[in-house]
Structure 1
Amino acid sequence: MSEKTNKLIEKENSKGFFGKLRNYFSIMVKKPQFSTTAITVPAAVINGKAKVVKLPSDLELLWKWWLTEASDDAETLKNRTDRYDDLSYMYYNNTVMSMATELYADETVQADSQSQVLQITAKKTKVKKYIEDFFDKIGITQPMLKATAFDLALYADHFWVNTSNQKEGITEIIPLDVYTVKDRIEFNALEATKRMDKKQRLYTQLINKHDKLQKLAKVLNDTKTDYASYFRKYLFGFQMEKDIFLPPWNISHFRRFSSQSEFYPFGRPLFINCISPFRQLQTSKNLVAMARVAKFPKEHFEVEVSDRMTEVEKWNATNQAREEYDNLGTDQTGKEEFGVGGKIWTPKGLLDYKLIENRMKVEDINDLEMLRDDMILGTRVPKGYLIVDRASFGTSGQALLQQFKPFGRAVFSLQSCILNELINLVKLQFVMTDDYEVDEPFEISMNFPVIEESSDRLRVKSDTLRLANDIITNLQNALGLGRGEAIPPEVVKDVFSKISFIDVEDIEDWIDAIKPEEDVEIKESIKKKIKNRLTEELIKEIEFKTKKDNRMFEGVSSGRHFCNSFKVDKMQKTILDLFKNDSGKLKG
Structure 2
Amino acid sequence: MADTSLFSRLRRLFSTNVVVRNVGGRKLKVSDTSRTQAYSKSNLVDRYQKIFTGAGLSGYSDALMTKSMRLNLFKDYEAMDSDAIISSALDIYSDESTMKSEYGEVLQIQTDNDQIKEILHNLFYDIVNIEFNLWPWIRNMCKYGDFFLKLEIDEKYGITNVVPLSVYDVSRLEGLDPENPEYVKFLIEAATAEHRYKQEQSSTKEELENYEVAHFRLLSDSNYLPYGKSQVEGARKIYKQLTLMEDAMLIHRIMRAPEKRVFKLDIGNIPPAEVDNYMQQVINKMKKAPVVDETTGDYNLKYNMQNITEDFFLPVRGGDSGTSIDSLPGLTYEATDDIEYLKNKLLSALRIPKAFLGFEDQIGSKATLAAEDVRFARTIERIQRITLSELTKIAIVHLYAQGYQDAELTNFELTLTNPSTIYEQEKIELWNNKTSLADSMLRDGLCSSEWIYKNIFNFTQEEIKEMDKQITFDYKTKFRRQQIEQEGNDPAESGESQGTPSDLALGRTGHELDDEGGSEEGGQPGAGRPKEPNKYGKDSGARGRDPLGAHDKKKGGSGAPKYGKALALSHYDSLKKSMNFNKKDREIITEVSELEEEYQNEVSSFSNDKSND
Q: What TM-score range do you get, normalising by the shorter chain? A: 0.5 to 0.7
Partner of 1:251: 213
Partner of 2:155: 166
- 2:186 paired residue among 231, 237, 245: 237
Does residue 405 (structure 1) correspond to residue 354 (structure 2)? The answer is: no
1:394·1:403 contact (CA, 8 Å) conserved in 2? no
Number of residue pairs aligned between Structure 1 and Structure 2: 397
CA positional deviation for 1:433? 3.4
The structure-2 alpha-carbon separation of the partners of 1:403 and 1:321, relative to structure 1 and needing over 3 Å to count, comes to closer
Partner of 1:272: 233
What amino acid is aligned across from residue 105 of structure 2 in structure 1?
Q
The superposition leaves residues 126-179 of structure 1 with CA deviations (integer Å, 9 ceiling, x where unpaired) of: 222222123234223211111112112222222211111221221111223333
Does residue 82 (structure 1) correspond to residue 72 (structure 2)? The answer is: yes
Does residue 297 (structure 1) correspond to residue 274 (structure 2)? The answer is: no
Separation in 2, partners of 1:98, 1:287: 22
4+ residue segments displaced more than 6 Å? 333-337, 463-472, 519-523
The superposition leaves residues 297-345 of structure 1 with CA deviations (integer Å, 9 ceiling, x where unpaired) of: 23332332246733x44334323332343444479x99899xxxxxxxx
CA positional deviation for 1:476? 7.1
The structure-2 alpha-carbon separation of the partners of 1:409 and 1:82, relative to structure 1 and needing over 3 Å to count, comes to same
Separation in 1, partners of 2:94, 2:207: 30
CA positional deviation for 1:405? 2.1
Partner of 2:548: none
RMSD: 4.7
Separation in 2, partners of 1:240, 1:490: 67
- 2:106 paired residue among 117, 131, 147: 117
Instruction: Name the SS for the 2:175 alignment partner.
Output: strand
TM-score scaled by structure 2? 0.55
CA positional deviation for 1:486? 4.4
Does residue 387 (structure 1) correspond to residue 358 (structure 2)? The answer is: yes
What amino acid is aligned across from residue 375 of structure 1 in structure 2?
L
Matches within 5 A, 1:318-329: 318-329=279-290
Partner of 2:271: 309
Partner of 2:347: 376
Separation in 2, partners of 1:461, 1:423: 35
Separation in 1, partners of 2:210, 2:495: 56
Partner of 1:282: 243
Q: Any unmatched runs of 5+ in structure 2?
A: 17-41, 43-49, 191-203, 293-301, 307-319, 435-452, 498-613
Q: Kindly, what percent of the aligned residue pairs are identical?
A: 19
What amino acid is aligned across from residue 360 of structure 1 in structure 2?
T
CA positional deviation for 1:416? 0.5
TM-score scaled by structure 1? 0.57
CA positional deviation for 1:121? 1.0
Does residue 156 (structure 1) correspond to residue 125 (structure 2)? The answer is: no
The structure-2 alpha-carbon separation of the partners of 1:459 and 1:184, relative to structure 1 and needing over 3 Å to count, comes to farther
Separation in 2, partners of 1:326, 1:336: 8
CA positional deviation for 1:456? 10
The structure-2 alpha-carbon separation of the partners of 1:171 and 1:393, relative to structure 1 and needing over 3 Å to count, comes to farther
1:401·1:408 contact (CA, 8 Å) conserved in 2? no
Compare CA radii of gyration and give the structure with the larger one: 2
Partner of 1:474: 466
What amino acid is aligned across from residue 298 of structure 1 in structure 2?
K
CA positional deviation for 1:25? 2.7
The superposition leaves residues 108-141 of structure 1 with CA deviations (integer Å, 9 ceiling, x where unpaired) of: 0115865201111113222222221232342232
What amino acid is aligned across from residue 374 of structure 2 in structure 1?
K
CA positional deviation for 1:454? 5.3
What amino acid is aligned across from residue 66 of structure 2 in structure 1?
T
Larger displacement relative to structure 2 (470-479 or 156-165)? 470-479
Matches within 5 A, 1:449-468: 449-450=419-420, 451-452=422-423, 458=430
Partner of 1:444: 414
CA positional deviation for 1:261? 2.9
